[in-house]
Structure 1
């Protein structure tokens, strides 16, 4: 009997203990869920801060560095010529169209390099020009001002990591589009030098099928872009002024005398790719193939483009590996994407098969068609507090919100997961593009890439306010928060 009582007591004790354990485990599970909810990374900001104002907000970061250019949006008040003219920003449909043209240019140039052939644009006069990596100019909107020639003439050039050749329009000009600054007159510079077609550096550029009379012995270049824009002219040497104390002598550039297409405001392009003619490689001895930029948060703010390493280095910078085979574009080993700091359940092969590049000239970020819906649906689930708009500015932008009934908005952080284990979180604010300031409407700045493009592109909008460091010599790219205000 005593044994029976003892067994019953032990059974009750064990049952009570199990119940206590179950309750404790239940509380622990709830605490874990609450902790996970608290760790879901979001960014809250004023809705008004998404839209550009009429007053320029200058970042002070550029003034703290040497070898630095100020970066401005050519459609905003920080671009001084806009104060003398009426400027209309492109619509989201225009941006998508130009993005598609740029992606075509990048993709087909890469294919032609690997296959040994080149796609060409053929003009009515049978002038055949190789399509190169580069901009669709109507929306390549970030400009830097450089000094060219002696005496120095200031010119506003497009910041472009997808182009190798730096070029500007030149007088005497056969056919030139209207730009903001006076055209560069090579006859008025004491340091301008023509390059012979037999010079070894002439191999850095492509010669068109025909050249104008008088240019037969000179290095005459032809470059075409995916949107049909072209530039032809003389590959030459000139003095490039970066600051009052820093100049680059015998800088190789294109002196364009025949320029046509989707050009607007800018005087030309500043090539930052991984090829020999780019400013990155021409200044390798001085800056060790290192440059960085910060794209401003809106059209009414400024950013910067810096050459050389910085001391001290940007705080909390995260480096990930550069993929060399994506040259001349800058390739990354992306294996996944996440929201709120959590990686989405998408197979890594979806990202690794097409490959990824980061680009300063493409505006939106383009994901594989079999990854985009999962990402979009997760984003929508995190944004249920805000109504989706019924009308869309473009079929590619299918997630747009009406924020007119709220003064602030909470957006999940977007994370990029890389093969080397690095995770880079982008500010939630940079995931949104503005649609209608009057109605406070914004859209998710991501879209699926089209069949045949087969390449993920991290565009410039999601990079906004980040310090993006290109250490080409070290074969890595770094990301740091709060690069410019």
Structure 2
């Protein structure tokens, strides 16, 4: 397969996102509200991709309480745009490689969602020069699939860092000095010596015990509590559990924020300085900022050439457009009660139990949505029936994407609208850009896949979340969706 940048591969449908009312969106004589009619040329990436951000969106992340600008790390709005080329920032991946790494994250989520905490294990001291770091075989999420970046400040005076954000991870970490082994990043690494508010976390602190449960690293050094995480793509971060002031915006700061000061970090992290963890344990930003923001956060993932936002705290103006469904109890992930789906306005002929008894994971790091086998089979059949009626020829599968079409000879195409239906009457109707993924016009694929095991939970990935406001209201145990929320 031809090599494509991650930016190109994951955003070949950038131009496909066409809002109703724009000149390229055909109404099909208003005969149906259940399908999209799209110019085939719009499926291909633009020859020149520019950064776009609407004025209303700028005001959201510039004036909103705890609001951060959120961008795709491989797009033209990225802080890494034009730095080092695609190979240097880890974007030179084929579609096959992207999907393989995505599958590694899915396997991690399935394992972690069903597992109970295992016994902590001893490892060698990672700060001994002659020692080889040996971490437990408890892989974390694949960092390669974390495509969205925010900028935060750390320390006093603050040092700025571009971090990937992840709702499936808890511990926030940055690369630190003195560095034993570090990967290339944009800008300088965090230097504790330059911060007047930096502290190391002691081995007797509650945060140390929490970090041991999270990472499996059960060891202290003379300098304090250590942490270590092996990610699903074999990336590694090891270092000192620490505290310092985290600055989200100019006036929004979290003093004494617990984070990982990574001094031994290996892998392809795409020039980011580390990770911002938005998971459900006590180490996450959400938990540590609960007194300030009330356990509420929201985000809107943009298309690759747009700007979205990550916002902490209630935002009534944004939440007014959201419709809510229950947030199900779980210690590690954000589960929602997906009760049904429709294709072309018709409900899939499966019961709510086909979507799993424990609920469906809502995840910012998984790319492609996964469904339990029975639900995916019904989705695939309905989509194929729609496409067969229009006589679109099938194309070879793209690894786990098994429903693909050769649309290279068409001027315009029609695809059915797909919607998620959640408990409580909340619906999320996908746009065209959320439904299809392609390597070329001759291989245009349905951007969903099925789980191997019926017992594994479904996962709603970031491809299907793009341009939707996703609200996490943890104290009130609910998740909200507001459509058309960012560029």
Q: Does the Cα contact within 8 Å between 2:149 and 2:163 map onto a contact in 1? A: yes
1:280 pairs, out of 280, 286, 309, with 286
1:127 pairs, out of 114, 131, 134, with 134
1:390 Cα deviation (Å)?
Answer: 2.7
1:106 pairs, out of 104, 109, 124, with 109
In structure 2, what is the equivalent of residue 63 of structure 1? 59
TM-score (normalizing by structure 2): 0.83
Counterpart check, 1:247 vs 2:250: no
TM-score (normalizing by structure 1): 0.83
Distance verdict in 2 for CA 1:369–1:117, change over 3 Å: farther
1:108 Cα deviation (Å)?
Answer: 2.0
Residue pairs, 1:254-403, within 5 angstroms: 254-297=260-303, 299-325=304-330, 327-353=331-357, 355-384=359-388, 385=390, 387-392=392-397, 394-403=398-407
1:176 pairs, out of 182, 185, 209, with 182
Show CA shifts across 1:37-57 (max 9, x none).
956522344552763642111
Distance verdict in 2 for CA 1:204–1:156, change over 3 Å: same
Q: Does the Cα contact within 8 Å between 2:75 and 2:305 map onto a contact in 1? A: yes
Residue pairs, 1:181-196, within 5 angstroms: 181-196=187-202
Residue pairs, 1:184-223, within 5 angstroms: 184-206=190-212, 215-223=221-229
Show CA shifts across 1:103-141 (max 9, x none).
222222233326x55799999947233626x43122221
Distance verdict in 2 for CA 1:174–1:477, change over 3 Å: same
1:450 Cα deviation (Å)?
Answer: 2.5
In structure 1, what is the equivalent of residue 158 of structure 2? 152
Secondary structure of the structure 1 residue equivalent to 2:182? coil
Distance verdict in 2 for CA 1:126–1:180, change over 3 Å: closer
In structure 1, what is the equivalent of residue 231 of structure 2? 225
CA–CA distance in structure 1, aligned partners of residues 382 and 122 of structure 2: 41
Q: Does the Cα contact within 8 Å between 2:335 and 2:360 map onto a contact in 1? A: yes
Distance verdict in 2 for CA 1:192–1:217, change over 3 Å: closer
CA RMSD of aligned residues (A): 2.7
Secondary structure of the structure 2 residue equivalent to 1:324? coil
Q: Relative to structure 2, which stretch is displaced further, 463-472 or 52-61?
A: 52-61
Q: Does the Cα contact within 8 Å between 1:107 and 1:453 map onto a contact in 2? A: no
Residue pairs, 1:385-464, within 5 angstroms: 385=390, 387-392=392-397, 394-406=398-410, 408-436=412-440, 439=441, 441-451=443-453, 454-464=456-466
1:176 Cα deviation (Å)?
Answer: 0.9
Distance verdict in 2 for CA 1:428–1:314, change over 3 Å: farther
Q: Does the Cα contact within 8 Å between 2:52 and 2:307 map onto a contact in 1? A: yes
CA–CA distance in structure 1, aligned partners of residues 52 and 273 of structure 2: 24
1:196 Cα deviation (Å)?
Answer: 0.9
CA–CA distance in structure 2, aligned partners of residues 323 and 121 of structure 1: 35
Q: Relative to structure 2, which stretch is displaced further, 70-79 or 51-60?
A: 51-60
Secondary structure of the structure 2 residue equivalent to 1:410? strand
Show CA shifts across 1:21-70 (max 9, x none).
xxxxxxxxxxxxxxxx9565223445527636421112441423332111
In structure 1, what is the equivalent of residue 71 of structure 2? 72
1:382 Cα deviation (Å)?
Answer: 2.2
Q: Does the Cα contact within 8 Å between 2:395 and 2:442 map onto a contact in 1? A: no
Secondary structure of the structure 1 residue equivalent to 2:111? helix
Counterpart check, 1:54 vs 2:49: yes
Q: Does the Cα contact within 8 Å between 2:143 and 2:232 map onto a contact in 1? A: no
Distance verdict in 2 for CA 1:407–1:181, change over 3 Å: farther
Q: Does the Cα contact within 8 Å between 1:165 and 1:270 map onto a contact in 2? A: yes
Show CA shifts across 1:351-408 (max 9, x none).
133631010000000111222222112112223447345344x331122234444455
CA–CA distance in structure 2, aligned partners of residues 441 and 57 of structure 1: 28
CA–CA distance in structure 2, aligned partners of residues 376 and 314 of structure 1: 33
Secondary structure of the structure 1 residue equivalent to 2:187? coil
Structure 2 unaligned residues grouped into runs of 5+: 1-29
1:205 Cα deviation (Å)?
Answer: 0.3
Q: Does the Cα contact within 8 Å between 2:280 and 2:332 map onto a contact in 1? A: yes
1:440 Cα deviation (Å)?
Answer: 6.9
CA–CA distance in structure 2, aligned partners of residues 182 and 257 of structure 1: 13
1:211 Cα deviation (Å)?
Answer: 5.5
1:452 Cα deviation (Å)?
Answer: 8.0
Q: Does the Cα contact within 8 Å between 1:90 and 1:139 map onto a contact in 2? A: no
Show CA shifts across 1:80-104 (max 9, x none).
3221321145322112211121122
Secondary structure of the structure 1 residue equivalent to 2:99? helix
Structure 1 unaligned residues grouped into runs of 5+: 1-36
Distance verdict in 2 for CA 1:131–1:477, change over 3 Å: same
Q: Does the Cα contact within 8 Å between 2:70 and 2:310 map onto a contact in 1? A: yes
In structure 1, what is the equivalent of residue 5 of structure 2? none
Distance verdict in 2 for CA 1:138–1:120, change over 3 Å: farther
